[in-house]
Amino acid sequence: MVSRRDLIKGAAAAGALSIAGTSRAQAWPSKPIRVISPFAAGGGTDAFLRPISARMSQNMGQQWVVDNLAGAGGTVGATAASKGAPDGYTLFCGAVHHTIAETLYTKLPYSLERDFAPITVLAYVPNVVVVNPKVPVNTLQEFIAYARANPGKLNFGSAGNGTSHHLTVELFKQMNNLQMTHVPYKGAGPMMQDLLAGQVDFAFDGMGTSATQIKGGKLKALAVTSARRVAAFPDIPTMEEAGVKDYQATTWYALWAPKGTPPEIVNRVQQEVVKALADPSIKEIWFQQGSEPGGNTPADFTRFIHAEIEKWGKVVKASGAKIDV
């Protein structure tokens, strides 16, 4: 039987741990925070990470330093982040691409669910079918007809093998029995440069990267891959409206910390993200890029990640795609 004295000791110890945890959370951050972005500068990740990092730096009184470590479809940066010290001073801004990589890569040096502590989603972004103006089409049905009449002629760019830019087109190809050539890049930024220059013909890009180019008339937008139209681009039809049924694919960007990062720090970051997303300037940036804000709890985000890994795993297996590393 546990004595009253032992109960008092246990309560005191628990109280001490609670106080220690609270003190640690209050002391953090006491130096700049490094946020690893696993794609090249100028891509979709940067479009959301850099504005919110600037806001977080102001709100928290410590600089959020974005470190672009591109390569291998975002897995180079993810690998580096997984090895970071679990002290709250290394964070990772990943994306839907990383849930795809769990099935696509045969020998990943990390596990998204085993080696990271989920924090929260920053933004949910519909993909948009964008084509270089030299491609002689103006609607999605014209695009499909042109691709069928010219098998293998159209090239599509992606942010890398196994990214959502890649797999969303693979799914589209399967559904419409099309032959197209994949050209992978080390991030959406370099891909966008070649798409604008006409080196590749089209992409299923995140709206965050393409929004400015669509508004400027430098790319033609044929459809969005979300269930409903994007408020900032009301004239762009959905896939279903454009004649392709049962096709939906959304890009999202999110924050993780290395596994073992104290829960109070993880929760603090999530709460600070929610605060930043409520800022009018951030809300306007998200709106202009056709995105919806995140902010879900670490527990909800954990469940979301698991569901995304299962969903994209089925697409990867159906496509037959595999990457050996």
pLDDT more than 70, % of the chain: 92
Do 162 and 319 touch, CB atoms closer than 8 A?
no
DSSP code of residue 230: B
**Is the pLDDT score of 62 beyond 70?**
yes
The H or E element containing residue 17 is helix 4-27
- Residue carrying the six token digits 């998204």: 112
Query: What is 126-224's CATH number?
Result: 3.40.190.10
Q: Which of 2-16, 109-123, 307-321 has the highest mean pLDDT?
A: 109-123
Locate CATH 3.40.190.10 in the chain.
126-224
The rounded distance, in Å, linking the Cα atoms of 286 and 215 is 15
Check residue 26 and give its pLDDT: 62
Residue type, 182: H
Check residue 24 and give its pLDDT: 53
Average pLDDT of span 174-203: 93
**Is the pLDDT score of 209 beyond 90?**
no
Check residue 290 and give its pLDDT: 84
Do 49 and 66 touch, CB atoms closer than 8 A?
yes
- Using alpha carbons, select from 209, 207, 208, 179 the residue that is nearest to residue 191: 209
pLDDT in tens, 211-270: 899 999 999 999 999 888 998 899 999 999 999 999 988 889 999 999 999 999 999 999
pTM above 0.85, yes or no: no
pLDDT more than 90, % of the chain: 70
Cα angle 148, 151, 152 (rounded to 5 degrees) comes to 140
**Is the pLDDT score of 294 beyond 90?**
yes
User: How many residues are listed for the chain in this entry?
Assistant: 325
Quickly name the fold that domain 8-125+252-319 has.
D-Maltodextrin-Binding Protein; domain 2 (3.40.190)
* Cα 142 to chain centroid, rounded: 30
- Using alpha carbons, select from 208, 213, 211 the residue that is nearest to residue 198: 213
Q: What separation in angstroms does the CA of 240 have from each of 203, 227, 244, 248, 318?
A: 18, 8, 5, 9, 22
**Is the pLDDT score of 1 beyond 70?**
no
First to last CA, the chain: 56
**Is the pLDDT score of 84 beyond 60?**
yes
